[in-house]
Amino acid sequence: MGQSLLEALNVRVVGNGRKHLLLAHGFGTDQSAWKRILPYFVSQFKVILYDLVCAGSVNPDYFDFRRYSSLHAYADDLLRILDSLGVDSCVYVGHSISAMIGVLASVRRPEIFSKLILIGASPRFLNDKDYHGGFEESDIDKVFEAMEANYEAWVNGIAPLAVGADVPVAVQEFSRTLFNMRPDISLFVSRTVFNSDLREVLGLVQTPCWIIQTAKDVSVPTSVATYLKEKLGGRNTVVMLNIEGHLPHLSAPVLLAHHLNEAFSR
Amino acid sequence: MGQSLLEALNVRVVGNGRKHLLLAHGFGTDQSAWKRILPYFVSQFKVILYDLVCAGSVNPDYFDFRRYSSLHAYADDLLRILDSLGVDSCVYVGHSISAMIGVLASVRRPEIFSKLILIGASPRFLNDKDYHGGFEESDIDKVFEAMEANYEAWVNGIAPLAVGADVPVAVQEFSRTLFNMRPDISLFVSRTVFNSDLREVLGLVQTPCWIIQTAKDVSVPTSVATYLKEKLGGRNTVVMLNIEGHLPHLSAPVLLAHHLNEAFSR
């Protein structure tokens, strides 16, 4: 991608603030997921938005299956974007897969990240001896089978579960962007995420983290938030939102904006 | 441990060179494992030696079971030693567990490590879907059972297997230091090592690595060396030694010194 990275990943900078805020979307969405959050922060920040290379809004030809077989490559993209924009410090908000991408990037370049705000983050989805990730290998295999068999049907099934709360507009939005992903890319990214175990990376993080977790999230048990607080190397805070769902920026944007604001000001 | 860390971990600096070389021993040994290697490098380097907190040569009261439940704490110790000595750059040689401790430390403070030389290194001992670590969970459980049942018998059984080659003095040395470890600490460290999965940390390493692997090592299949070369984030080299054993510094010190010298000079 080279010089055209900013263009390829639809990088936008909006807002009038002095400091930089980066909003990084998660699996199955694109930067449009932040549209109900963005208005709260454009006066306070220069807000950077971009699409992950796997997003349906990015030309799938850019998705190099060899390169994007680990989250490190996504962290590369993130750092290259920040460098291209000349950003030397930012507050980072990452949802889902982008939470861990931010974690990886902050380990490599701690000086660029003044704070990480992690929404629906998990360092490992599979259960292990002393760790509850929420999924057994057999659960995951069934997910992959369903995705392969009929992607549209899988999207229609998973979207309401992921959104959790009864917020039809959020389900519709998530379904739209999830369905926009090319099914083979969506499956490949799911495998990458479910096969990765980033627990040992957590201790390398020096940046203070603010972990935002909802009370019921099909992808991430609440115990994972506590695990993150304990294992991340910096000074960390957990905020439990008394709502349901993996995508609070879609389903409860006002509440999330309130808590983001709190996180920014601490 | 605070100020007395250098004393507690028996830190020594020997040699007359300008540059610093750190020799970090692996599981079941202590700094004496380097005694046949050391003479080759004292004129070229200031050589730093120390004992891991789990070594039999360290007062077991210093072993805080809560703190040393992950290799990150060992990396902390290493960095604190280098800081206490005022070392701002060193070549690092790490064997076995200390290979991965060096990896973790170099991610946190890449500027201190000009090169990592990793001997008998493995980021994960258990097999996984697309990864051959060499061990199944059931193998490991048997090891732990044997260690618990009769530590001395286990030491006597494992030492010749680990040394591999028919070098009685090496078997004797390894048995001595392995037996010196307090059995509960030895078991705890084994569990820590076998339960850890540092594969995702590798991509965060920027320091060039020189991976030294013997042709047959009971602890590490040769494919792991290739895996490390591929996944470590810097520019890496693999050197396959056409000998057997997990402890070439004990069993083939002249050959190892030759290859270390080559690694230092590149």
User: What pLDDT sits at residue B49?
Assistant: 98
**With contacts defined as CB-CB under 8 Å, which chain B residues touch A108?**
204, 206
Min Cα separation B128/chain A (Å)? 10
User: For residue B169, how many other CB atoms are within 10 A of its CB?
Assistant: 11
User: What pLDDT sits at residue A176?
Assistant: 97
Model confidence over A22-75: pLDDT tens digits? 999 999 999 999 999 999 999 999 999 999 999 999 999 999 999 999 999 999
Q: Which residue of A has its CA nearest to B203?
A: A72
Confidence of residue B262 (pLDDT cuts 50, 70, 90): very high
Q: How far apart are CA A241 and CA A213, in angstroms?
A: 6
Percent of chain B predicted with pLDDT > 70 = 99
**With contacts defined as CB-CB under 8 Å, which chain A residues touch B107?**
107, 204
Mean pLDDT of B62-91: 96
What is the SS3 assignment for A161?
helix
Q: How far apart are CA A48 and CA A248, in angstroms?
A: 19
Model confidence over B223-255: pLDDT tens digits? 999 999 999 999 999 999 999 999 999 999 999
User: What pLDDT sits at residue B266?
Assistant: 84
Q: Where in the sequence numbering do the catalytic residues of A fall?
A: 96, 217, 246
Interface mutation target, options A67, A140, A191, A200, chain B, most CBs of B under 10 Å: A200
What is the SS3 assignment for B173?
helix
Nearest to B200 among A108, A129, A197 (CB): A197
Residue A190, token pair as written in the block: 């799911």
Min Cα separation B62/chain A (Å)? 21
Interface mutation target, options B126, B144, B204, B207, chain A, most CBs of A under 10 Å: B204
Across the interface, whether the CB atoms of A196 and B196 are under 8 A apart is answered no
Min Cα separation B67/chain A (Å)? 12
User: What pLDDT sits at residue B129?
Assistant: 87
Residue listed under structure tokens 């190099």: A64
Question: Is 60 exceeded by the pLDDT of residue A262?
Answer: yes
User: What pLDDT sits at residue A245?
Assistant: 97
Determine contact, residues B188/B144, Cβ cutoff 8 Å.
no
Determine contact, residues B220/B135, Cβ cutoff 8 Å.
no
User: What pLDDT sits at residue B3?
Assistant: 60
Model confidence over B197-220: pLDDT tens digits? 999 999 999 999 999 999 999 999
The ipTM of this complex is: 0.80
The count of residues in chain A is 266
Contacts of B128 (CB under 8 A, 6+ apart): none
User: What pLDDT sits at residue B11?
Assistant: 97
B246 is catalytic: yes
Mean pLDDT of B99-119: 97
Quick one: residue B253, left, alpha or beta (phi over 0 = left, psi -120 to 50 = alpha)?
A: alpha
Model confidence over A196-238: pLDDT tens digits? 999 999 999 999 999 999 999 999 999 999 999 999 999 999 9
What b/e readout covers A60-78, taking b as 16+ CB neighbours within 10 angstroms? Answer: eebbeeeebebbbbbbbbb
Out of B30, B51, B77, B217, which one is annotated catalytic?
B217
User: How far is the CA of B137 from the CAs of A58, A109, B144, in angstroms?
Assistant: 42, 36, 11
> To 5 degrees, how large is the angle CA B18–CA B251–CA B98?
55
Percent of chain A predicted with pLDDT > 70 = 99
Q: How far apart are CA A55 and CA A59, in angstroms?
A: 9
Mean pLDDT of B8-27: 97
User: What pLDDT sits at residue A17?
Assistant: 94
Model confidence over B159-186: pLDDT tens digits? 999 999 899 999 999 999 999 999 999 9
Mean pLDDT of A115-135: 96
End-to-end CA distance of chain B, in Å? 37
User: What pLDDT sits at residue B55?
Assistant: 98
Residue listed under structure tokens 């732990």: B144
User: What pLDDT sits at residue A35?
Assistant: 97
Q: How far apart are CA B237 and CA B95, in angstroms?
A: 16
Mean pLDDT of A177-196: 96
Quick one: residue A229, left, alpha or beta (phi over 0 = left, psi -120 to 50 = alpha)?
A: alpha
Confidence of residue A165 (pLDDT cuts 50, 70, 90): confident
Q: Report DSSP letters for B63-81, one per residue.
A: --TTGGGSHHHHHHHHHHH
Across the interface, whether the CB atoms of B200 and A204 are under 8 A apart is answered no
